[in-house]
Amino acid sequence: METGELLLVFAGILLFFDFILLLKAKAKPEEKKKLELAFFASSIACVLIMASYLRLTRAFLNNDFSLMEVYSYSSSSLSIWYKLGDPWIGSSGSMLFVTSFFALVYFVYRFKGLGKEDVFRTTTYKILDVFLIFFLLVTLLKSPFELLPVTLPDGAGLNPLLQTFWVLVHPPVIFFGYVFVFFAFAMTLAGMITGEPEKQERKTLKLSLYAAWLFLALGIALGGWWSYEVLGWGGYWAWDPVETASLLPWLALTAYFHLPARSKDMAKELTLLITFSMIIFATALTRGGLLESVHAFGESSVGPVLLGFAFCVVLYFFYLTRKANKPLYTFDIDTSSLFSISIFAAYWSLIFLWIICFFGDAAPIIGGFFTENPMTTNVEYYNRWCYPFTLLFVAALMGCNVNVGLKIKKYAVLITAVMGIGVVLALLGEPTPNPLANFGLPLLLAAGVAIAYNFARLLPKKNAPSRLWGKTLVHLAIIVILIGVFVSSAAEEESENIFANPNSVIDALGMQIALNNFTVYPGTGSVYYAQHSFVGPERSALKMDVAIEDGGNVHQESLWMYYYPIHGVVSEPSIISTPAGDVYVSMHHTNSSYNSMFYALMGEAVQPEDFIIVVKRIPLIWLVWAGIVLMGIGMTILLFGELLRTGYKKENF
């Protein structure tokens, strides 16, 4: 057994020992020594887990190609920055990263609670022990320390789509969100087992949830930008199964924050269960290869094990709800209050969006057990079914932010008028070619105005709670993002494949593009080619400088194509950003340009005779990125506002 695996095994044993000690100990002064021993056992376990992660990182830095994980995702010529990020890039290493960060946060939580043990805390510790032991088992099931039969002279190299700065940021950020949900859910289960948690623990719970919400949102956003910037992922959003799975916990957690705080049911606990389960589902989808996706790894036994764990947690949750003898959800709405109705509509529109997206991912998996040709879900499915509930959510956000004294009948008249304008725009075919987008834009604009006005009213109020500032900014950010999505997706233009030659000029989408000659770059890097048993260059490249004239402005840009024999041809687009939107120009290979890169790999400089150019216009795409920044600011205000509060007070989101 490899050293890293031994560390994980010993950590699991210590966590089990900690669990047994906590099970037998009572939160009483005479049990102090037993509780201290439990703390030391858990602390050593956490240190061992983090040491195992450092062992894997060291293996990447030292080019230890005796490990399958290092061979599969690295090479001797790979940049040191990617080697530092490699442990969270691969299927097995990423599980170890999540487990290590979980262990770090757990250690901090145990350290802060040392000497303050009570029934609630010890119950939370036990639940966290179970979670952490399970993740250790999953990590070992597909071990990142798997040894190859022989030590190979070099690695297979990192997939070129992963050789970007964003691979160093996106995965850790979204994993941070996952871990904070695990902690929040563990505290929620502990509260269900022991009764109402202490006030300080409620604050810790809320801090965990705000942190999770922020990191999940940033993780999705960074993934969207990565997909947009690096050609080959399918754009900033393509309803890929893994993309959709990453959205599921965010939808559920956003719904959680739109539940009334004073309800006497278990809706908050149930919604948090959904959030937790969706993280396990997303992990199973990605690490277990349950569906084909450009973001997923190959099939493994990890997927079914993770789903089995989620199923057991769900069963235990419903066992606890029966003991609590409280309804899961009560339709307690003040029908005379526009705010109450709006909050209700916001919650259920998000839940239905979650159901649609979950069904889109789950149906092909379930169908695969019963038929060889299960149903598949495509972009049209998501667009068709998500559209009405998205508009309902927008209308609910508008209702949450209009004048508090506005009567429901007047609001209904306002919504009817806005929808009437939408009908007219849909019939006129303006401002986009898509009638559904045209119908929804007036509602989005009206909601944006209402929320912006509500935000402006807060500006003079120096004593306005940070919760209101953050909430309003998040609502405004969602509207800005949706306007950007509606316009950019509906009015996007794309040229056909344009076959071109060096030193020529082409016209596309109203632009004139002057193409220069190629610069041929010979083979660079070093990777091991297992099929041929030799070490050779990793890639070759073609670069073309172009001058793009658009609306009287000339942009000097460069287009790149790279040839990786192991991974194929990768194109690097040029993105020109303007207030009207982005111009997206990319170069693709023909037989001639492919052969040129092939010969360049062997040191021969052969000029290609032709190649393919594709041009896109994506209007107002900057609204999506601006909305994401605004959302991050709003969520950060909520997080730090809660952190700075001295006490806990029940209140609505």
The answer for 235, left when phi > 0, alpha when psi is -120 to 50, beta otherwise, is left
pLDDT band of 200, cuts 50, 70, 90: low
Length in residues, the chain: 653
530 secondary structure, DSSP code: T
Q: Report whether the peptide linkage leading into residue 537 is cis, meaning its omega lies within 30 degrees of zero.
A: no
Alpha carbons 537 and 223: distance in angstroms, whole number: 29
One DSSP character per residue, 109-130 reads HHHHTTT---HHHHHHHHHHHH
- What confidence score (pLDDT) does residue 653 get? 46
**pLDDT at residue 234, rounded to an integer:** 56
The structural domains of the chain, with segments of one domain joined by +, span 1-158, 169-369, 378-485+623-644, 502-609
Compute the distance between CA of residue 354 and CA of residue 346 in angstroms, rounded to an integer: 12
pLDDT at residue 30 is higher than 70: no
In the 8-state DSSP scheme, what is residue 142?
T
Tens of pLDDT, residues 154-185: 999 999 988 989 999 999 999 999 999 999 99
Average pLDDT, the chain: 89
Using the structure block, give the residue that is written with the tokens 């950003």: 577
Q: Whole-angstrom Cα distance, residue 353 to residue 377? A: 15
**Which pLDDT tens digit goes with each residue over 365-407?**
877 666 666 667 888 999 999 999 999 999 999 998 886 567 7
- At residue 372, the pLDDT reads 66
Q: Taking Cα atoms as reference points, which of 546, 601, 544, 547 lies closest to residue 569?
A: 601
Looking at the DSSP bridge assignments, the partners of residue 507 are 512
Res 649: pLDDT: 46
pLDDT at 322: 86
**H helices, E strands: number in the chain:** 18, 12
Q: Are 27 and 119 in contact (CB under 8 A)?
A: yes
**pLDDT higher than 50, residue 652:** no
Question: Picking from 44-53, 374-383, 572-581, which range would have the lowest pLDDT averaged per residue?
Answer: 374-383
**Rounded to the nearest 5°, which phi and psi values hold at 572?**
-110, 115
Which contiguous run of DSSP H or E holds residue 498? Answer: strand 498-500
Per-residue pLDDT tens over the stretch 516-529: 989 999 999 999 99
